[in-house]
């Protein structure tokens, strides 16, 4: 499992496998010939000029300038297509949008694919660094001769959804729209991880004892995540808690769950989580000026729609925009697919990369933007 350490301020893909396995391409994966241009581009991040992000720019046929969409992937150090189990979610989304007249930009995270790592180690990255990386793509589009600078929108998945709303809320951005897919705002990272663990253990059919041990591990560890300034002591104490709680469950379940416990020891003791816990989380939906489309699924174990949809609905009501919309779709998992359990491993058996209902909602909402 490739664990997603680095998007610590909004780590909602913590236990999702961003991996590609051998086999055929999925049915929705785009295949040539394409009715648009796909161009390799790169650009520098202003806050760390040693970071050069490699990206794919798609441009529709015809005469521009075109409206454009910056696509921001989820947590982790992943490449532009966000591959997992041969699904290429961001590429499917880019193809869908470009065929409907939008230019798109999707990028390799710093240190992944063809992008350079910059001056910081991955373990040193803060949420502000990741937001700056994504914002550099918005600024690149704004300067491109084929793009209408007044019609640049943002689509973000998972952690990228929260980042997209923040970027669109920044002074001077003037985003055309923002679309949040399987995302949320105003969420402390340790609370997110704790709730993810609870939902995933229940969905996996763990015993009551195992679920209790996991919840106790998270609750006890979070105290040190927040309050212990020494990294070495934080890690020592959280590892001690993990070992204690693992001893309370049966040997077969312990063998299955130990790796996940120790993965979270590293995450919960990290400098990123400790620093993030000290920062007040902003509800960017109260500050944004452009229209927002929010789509979540009720089978999402990473972002529990029952918790976050009411909160985001209330924020949209307070910061009213008649063009904004919100959907909670039944049976949709965190990776935007029709599922049964919501567990990430299930995506290996699912053929669709993005459920057609989601694409239909996006397409209709974008078509209606200027007709309100």
Which range has the top average pLDDT, 85-89, 123-127, 168-172? Answer: 85-89
Cis status, amide bond into 33, omega within 30 of 0: yes
Domains along the sequence of the chain with CATH: 8-187+282-371 (3.40.50.1820), 189-276 (no CATH)
Average pLDDT, the chain: 89
Q: What are the tens digits of pLDDT across the range 176-212?
A: 999 999 999 865 555 666 667 777 777 788 888 888 8
Separation between Cα atoms, residue 187 and residue 136, nearest integer Å: 24
Q: What are the tens digits of pLDDT across the range 251-276?
A: 999 999 999 899 989 988 988 788 87
**Is the pLDDT reported for residue 37 higher than 90?**
yes
Per-position b or e across 61-79, b if 16+ CB within 10 A of its CB? eeeeebbbbbbbbbbbbbb
Beta partners for residue 70, in sequence order: 105, 154
Separation between Cα atoms, residue 254 and residue 262, nearest integer Å: 12
Q: Out of 135-139, 169-173, 329-333, 368-372, which region has the weakest mean confidence (pLDDT)?
A: 368-372
Confidence of residue 17 (pLDDT cuts 50, 70, 90): very low
**Is the pLDDT reported for residue 291 higher than 90?**
yes
**Is the pLDDT reported for residue 107 higher than 60?**
yes
The structure's pTM equals 0.85
Confidence of residue 280 (pLDDT cuts 50, 70, 90): confident
Separation between Cα atoms, residue 1 and residue 162, nearest integer Å: 24
The whole-number pLDDT of residue 278 equals 82
Separation between Cα atoms, residue 18 and residue 304, nearest integer Å: 20
Q: Out of 92-96, 99-103, 272-276, 364-368, which region has the weakest mean confidence (pLDDT)?
A: 272-276
Looking only at Cα atoms, what is the longest distance across the chain? 66
The whole-number pLDDT of residue 185 equals 84
Separation between Cα atoms, residue 299 and residue 336, nearest integer Å: 10
The whole-number pLDDT of residue 271 equals 83
**Is the pLDDT reported for residue 226 higher than 70?**
yes
The whole-number pLDDT of residue 335 equals 95
Percent residues over pLDDT 70 in the chain = 91
Give residues with Cβ within 8 angstroms of 134, minimum separation 6.
70, 72, 156, 160, 163, 164, 167
**Is the pLDDT reported for residue 6 higher than 60?**
no
Separation between Cα atoms, residue 234 and residue 211, nearest integer Å: 23
Separation between Cα atoms, residue 118 and residue 243, nearest integer Å: 36
The whole-number pLDDT of residue 15 equals 37
The whole-number pLDDT of residue 11 equals 41
Separation between Cα atoms, residue 273 and residue 10, nearest integer Å: 10
């Amino acid at each position: 499992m490739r664990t997603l350490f680095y998007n610590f301020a909004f780590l909602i893909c913590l236990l999702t496998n961003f991996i590609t396995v051998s086999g055929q391409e999925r049915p929705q994966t785009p295949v040539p010939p394409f009715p648009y241009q796909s161009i390799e581009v790169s650009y520098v991040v202003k806050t760390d000029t040693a970071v050069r992000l490699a990206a794919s720019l798609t441009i529709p046929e015809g005469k521009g300038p075109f409206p454009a969409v910056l696509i921001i992937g989820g947590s982790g150090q992943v490449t532009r297509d966000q591959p997992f189990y041969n699904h290429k979610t961001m590429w499917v989304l880019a193809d869908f949008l470009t065929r409907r007249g939008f230019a798109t930009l999707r990028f390799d995270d710093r240190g992944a694919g063809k992008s350079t790592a910059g001056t910081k180690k991955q373990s040193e990255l803060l949420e502000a660094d990741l937001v700056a990386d994504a914002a550099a793509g918005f600024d690149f589009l704004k300067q491109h001769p084929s793009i209408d600078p007044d019609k640049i929108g943002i689509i973000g998945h998972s952690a990228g959804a929260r980042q997209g709303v923040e970027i669109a809320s920044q002074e001077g951005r003037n985003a055309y729209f923002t679309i949040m897919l399987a995302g949320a705002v105003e969420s402390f990272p340790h609370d997110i991880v704790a709730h993810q663990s609870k939902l995933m253990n229940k969905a996996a059919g763990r015993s009551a004892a195992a679920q209790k041990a996991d919840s106790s591990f998270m609750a006890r560890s979070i105290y040190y995540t927040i309050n212990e300034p020494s990294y070495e002591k934080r890690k020592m104490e959280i590892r001690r808690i993990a070992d204690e709680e693992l001893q309370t469950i049966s040997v077969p379940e312990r063998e299955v769950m130990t790796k996940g416990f120790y993965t979270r020891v590293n995450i919960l003791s990290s400098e990123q989580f400790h620093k993030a816990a000290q920062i007040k989380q902003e509800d960017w939906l109260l500050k944004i000026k452009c229209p927002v489309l929010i789509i979540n699924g009720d089978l999402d174990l990473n972002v529990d729609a029952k918790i976050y949809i009411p909160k985001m609905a209330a924020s949209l009501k307070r910061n009213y925009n008649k063009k904004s919309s919100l959907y909670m779709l039944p049976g949709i998992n965190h990776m935007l697919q029709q599922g049964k359990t919501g567990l990430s491993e299930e995506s290996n058996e699912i053929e669709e990369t993005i459920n057609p209902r989601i694409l239909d909602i996006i397409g209709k909402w974008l078509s209606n933007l200027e007709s309100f």
